[in-house]
A and B are shown apart, each in its own frame.
Chain A
Amino acid sequence: MKAAQLPTRPEGAAPVATSRPARRRTPVPTRFLPVIATFVLFVAMFGVGSVRYEGFASGQVVANLFIDNAFLIVLAVGMTFVILTGGIDLSVGSVVALSTMVAAAGLQAGWSAPLTILAVLAMGSGFGLLMGLVIHYFEIQPFIVTLAGLFLARGLCYVISVESIPIKDDTFRSIATGVIELPGGTVITPSVVIALVVVAVAAYVLHLTRFGRTVYAVGGSESSARLMGLATARAKVGVYVISGFCSALAGLLFSFYMLSGYSLHAVGMELDAIAAVVIGGTLLSGGVGLVVGSLLGVLVLGTIQTFISFEGTLSSWWTKIAIGTLLLIFIVMQRLFVGRKA
């Protein structure tokens, strides 16, 4: 836990001083403030929606937020790990597409569903592992390595097939169409459960394991973490394996959602994931952030989409503008927040 409060500015920029005046005025620890801000925003947006549109404030609308964004939640969780170490993973969208392709092609070739799922998860983790090793041992910027990963995964999709491949497997279809009824009449899908389990496991790993604390420490200051004798290499490579695994899992959830594998699935989804993580209060310089924040970030993005579909007259491009604007507001807020502490 202490590690999360280590200095968060690895290079240049203003040094972080003690935050005593802020501490006295606010009863909650400052590191929860961004997440609370995101939560307040989410509730406020939902409140506005409920007032403006009939039928907005129903349990099913909330459930749909989770159903439609289950894959994005998983993706954002993986991205949170990477960003906490101060890295970035641009390849996630492409790995999602590659996972849907591998799943669809594997099932078409007659693999059993469990084998396909294992193969996809192993493929994603292996992909992440390779990128992590290159990033760590050759000291090439994560940005450029994962950019190459983006191209590589997208290219491999096309190698498998240029066309869309439908998924006809019974197991996949039953998971895709399966519903779980909650008390109160709202229904969710198995994907939602998987996504929430991922969030819970990620929170556990980040806060209650040695690996998680090392991740925060590396993000705070890699050289300090190394001098403390922490296994920085394992953390730095590990986060990319986790991100790769999460991308593959998100790809599986996406293939449940779409029931097809297609090379053009999830184009630009890495930006949504990064936006969700940033809106959730994680600093891109690393070392500060919570997985719950990323979950809330995804829900905020989902609410924007729900807004636009309820409005009816607004065109889809307003989604992009709205996400951009929110991103801006949040990074400026983060900046002012960090700036005041300094």
Chain B
Amino acid sequence: MSTATPVTFAARARQSRLTWPLLALVALLLVNVVVTPSFFSLRIQDGHLYGSLIDILKNGAPTLLIALGMTLVIATRGIDLSVGAIVAISGAVTCTYIAGAPDPTSASAAIIGLSMALGLCVLLGLWNGFLVSVLGIQPIIATLVLMTAGRGIAMLVTDGQIITVTNPAYRQIGAGFLVLPISILISLAVLAAVAVVTRRTALGMLIESVGVNPEASRLAGVQARTIIWTVYVFAALCAGVAGLMISSNVSAADANNAGLWIEMDAILAVVIGGTSLAGGRYSLTGTLVGALIIQTLTTTVYTAGIAPEITLLFKAVVVIAVCLLQSPRARAALRRGKTPPPVVPDAGTPSAAPDLGVLADVPGPVAPASTSSSHSAQKAGQR
């Protein structure tokens, strides 16, 4: 090996937005090995792979799927808060249909039920897309409508009950195995399909251009409205399939708790993966790594014997850490950590000082490495 290779590799690693998330994932896995030495062991039983890693993949499949849809939505500078509600609706519709079908155990009941659910999800996605692209409502608030009302709709469908079904065909989606769990195979297939469709054609670039500037891309001949509409339908469809996985895994539809907080998990996965919430750039690999980090974290907390509720705390810490590491400001601060901090012109109240802690050696709004816009701020601040 020539000496040049590691240098360029190190340089590339420092450039890549995936480096920190990957390191975080590896660190999490190492923690697991220390806590449970048998963590990496896989065994085959009845033609199925079993093991902690497979569990992570299986339980992370719905989050990954939703995060994929979310990635494209976020790339257009949008956000979809309604996916959790769509998860609940999709499970509710399918299970209610199967439970009421003439033969609740037949495969045909499952297929009709899930096609109805997915059809409804497409409609909900069209609705979100209509609000965002045609009416021009801010995505966060447009999808908040369905997030609030959606769970109510799901409860309306199930009449507030938890609907249980016993349908072997339906159970395959969430709990079935083809060596690997079927759910993760579905998610990975969707990941591959999205990667091919958006990265091997111009579609990905068009999505990013809409995210950078919808108006400019429209004037440049990009059908911004259609693209925005499409990504919301895709996100809703992904959420619908994820809802099928979740309800089929437990053979029940719980309108209240199915997919609760999953929109937050999905957004976290996307953000951890290096996709900017400001739109215009996305990374599918990053989303995959992000979803794995979220799920590994959850599993780690379980296996380490910590109360599962505390997972939220770890999630918060990981999010803040990854976001800080990706923030250009914080990176600049780390790089010039030894230079004395310039005086911040208006750094909030005096009581802020003890709380600044780590932030203290961060250059304030007058950071020399900052962009041109904050140079004007600097002048304004000194005036």
Within 8 A of B (CB), among A135-178: 137-141, 143-145, 147-152, 154-156, 158-159, 162
CB of A148 to closest CB in B, whole Å: 4
Chain A residue at minimum C-beta to C-beta distance from B135: A335
Q: A233-B365, A234-B346, A237-B348 are in contact. Are A150 and B148 (CB under 8 A)?
A: no
Of all chain B residues, which has the CB nearest A237?
Answer: B348
Determine if B151 and A151 form an interchain contact, defined as CB atoms under 8 angstroms apart: no
From B135, B319, B377, A147 is in contact (CB under 8 Å) with B319
A148 touching B323 in the complex, CB below 8 Å, given contacts A284-B141, A331-B137: yes
- A12 pairs with B145, CB closer than 8 A: no
Asked if A130 is at the interface (CB within 8 A of a chain B CB), the reply is yes
Best-buried of B136, B362, B373 by chain A (most CB within 10 Å): B136
Query: Given A144-B323, A228-B380, are A88 and B316 neighbors across the interface (CB < 8 Å)?
Result: no
CA distance A223 to B374 in the complex (A): 9
Shortest distance from the beta carbon of A233 to any chain B beta carbon, whole Å: 5
**Across-interface contacts of B271 in A (CB, < 8 A):** 144
The closest CB in chain A to the CB of B321 belongs to A148
A94 to chain B, nearest CB (A): 9
- B132-171 toward A: CB 8 Å interface, digit per residue (1/0)? 0001111011101111111111011000100000000000
Do the beta carbons of B148 and A159 come within 8 Å of each other? Answer: no
The residue from B317, B327, B346 contacting A231, defined by CB atoms under 8 A apart: B346
Shortest distance from the beta carbon of B93 to any chain A beta carbon, whole Å: 15
Pick from B267, B355, B364: contact of A144, CB below 8 A.
B267
Query: Which of B16-24, B100-108, B303-311 lines the interface with chain A?
Result: B303-311
Interface stretch, picked from A30-38, A202-210, A249-257, A320-328, is: A320-328
Q: Smallest Cβ distance from B273 to chain A, in angstroms?
A: 13
Are A315 and B347 within 8 A (Cβ)? no
Cα(A232)–Cα(B374), bound, Å? 12
* Chain A neighbourhood of B328, CB < 8 A: 139
- Among B106-126, those with CB < 8 Å from A are none
In the bound complex, residues from chain B placing their C-beta under 8 Å from that of A232 are 346
Q: Which of these binds chain B: A21-29, A68-76, A270-278?
A: A270-278
Majority DSSP secondary structure for residues of B touching A: helix
Give the docked Cα–Cα distance between A126 and B144 (Å).
Answer: 28
Most B CB within 10 A of own CB, among A12, A133, A137, A140? A137
Q: Given contacts A140-B327, A147-B319, A328-B145, is CB(A319)–CB(B152) below 8 Å?
A: yes
For residue A41, CB closer than 8 A to chain B, the reply is no
Contact B310 A229 (CB under 8 A): no
Complex alpha-carbon distance, A280 and B293, angstroms = 39
Q: How large is the interface on A (under 10, 10 to 19, 20 to 34, 35 or more residues)?
A: 35 or more
B376 contacts A227, C-beta separation under 8 Å: yes
Q: Does B4 contact A (CB under 8 A)?
A: no
Complex CA gap A263/B313 in Å reads 13
**Given A154-B312, A233-B347, A325-B149, A332 and B135 touching (CB < 8 A)?**
yes
A150 smallest CB distance to B (angstroms): 7
B319 touches A144 (CB 8 A): yes
B315 within 8 A of partner (CB): yes
Give, as a whole number of angstroms, the nearest-CB distance from A207 to chain B: 21
The answer to whether residues A335 and B359 also contact, given A132-B348, A140-B323 and a CB cut-off of 8 A, is: no
Q: A238-B348, A331-B142 given as contacts; is B313 within 8 A of A133 (CB)?
A: no
Cα distance A263–B177 when bound, in Å?
37
B68 at the interface (CB under 8 A from A): no
Partner of A315, one of B142, B155, B309, B356: B155
Contact of A317 among B155, B313, B315, B349 (CB under 8 A): B155
Inter-chain CA distance A296–B30, complex, in Å, is 53
B268 at the binding interface (Cβ < 8 Å): yes
Which A residues contact B (CB, under 8 angstroms)? 12-13, 88, 126, 129-130, 132-134, 137-141, 143-145, 147-152, 154-156, 158-159, 162, 223, 226-229, 231-234, 237-238, 241, 263, 271, 274-275, 278, 284-285, 315, 317-321, 323-325, 327-328, 331-332, 335, 339
Top 8 A-B pairs ranked by shortest CB distance? A324-B149, A155-B313, A320-B152, A152-B316, A155-B312, A158-B309, A317-B155, A151-B316
List B residues at the A interface (Cβ < 8 Å): 79, 131, 135-138, 140-142, 144-153, 155-156, 160, 213-215, 255, 264, 267-268, 271, 277-278, 307, 309-317, 319-320, 323-324, 327-330, 344-349, 352, 355-356, 359, 362, 364-365, 373, 376-377, 380-381, 383
Q: A133-B352, A133-B356, A148-B315 are in contact. List 20 more A-B contacts (CB 8 A).
A: A12-B214, A132-B348, A138-B329, A140-B323, A145-B323, A148-B316, A152-B320, A162-B309, A226-B377, A233-B364, A237-B348, A241-B348, A271-B144, A275-B148, A317-B152, A317-B155, A321-B152, A324-B150, A324-B152, A328-B149
Q: List 10 A-B contacts (CB under 8 A).
A: A12-B214, A133-B356, A155-B309, A158-B307, A226-B377, A233-B364, A237-B352, A238-B349, A320-B152, A327-B141
